[in-house]
Amino acid sequence: MKLMIINGPNLNLLGKREPEVYGNTTFEEYFAELKKKFPQVELEYFQSNIEGELIQKIQEVGFDYDGIILNAAAYTHTSVGIGDAIKAVTTPVIEVHISNTHQREEYRHVSYISPVAKGVILGFGLQSYDLAIQSFLS
């Protein structure tokens, strides 16, 4: 089982960024835990602050990998291009968010990813990623 986690803009600042919303753990620390927890999964991680690079990565892995776990961060609420990329590839995509975006500002209630994702997991903190991996295993 080969899974790719793709994180969008500002998620490189996890641990430092708004800790009351996103927690104190860096993604690198959490990713190391995930790898230990799921030794049977070939787990990779990519982060970019640039929309086109996220699209590029979706295209690159989207015909070979068993799953993509995507937190498009702010681009979730704006990117027709990322939505189109998900539609274009064959690998199923699970949309994840650390926070419960529906409890937050109204502009975060819209997602260009949800209509084309296999499923959506949000609001469980970093555990949202863990749950997404589990969904591919079950």
Residues labelled as active-site residues:
22, 97
The CA-atom distances, in angstroms, between 53 and each of 13, 36, 49, 79, 85 are 18, 28, 8, 13, 11
Q: Kindly tell me which residue out of 3, 58, 69, 73 binds ligand DQA, with binding defined by CB under 6 A.
A: 73
Task: State in angstroms the smallest separation of the CB of 76 from ligand DQA.
Answer: 6
Structure tokens given for 35: 């790898």
Residues in binding contact with ligand DQA, number by CB under 6 A: 10
Closer residue to ligand DQA in complex, CB, 17/63: 17
Binding mask 104-123 for ligand DQA (x = CB under 6 A): ----x---------------
The CA-atom distances, in angstroms, between 64 and each of 24, 59, 82, 87, 115 are 34, 10, 18, 15, 22
Query: What single-letter amino acid sits at 90?
Result: T
Q: Interface residues with ligand DQA (CB under 6 A)?
A: 10, 71, 73-74, 76, 97-99, 101, 108
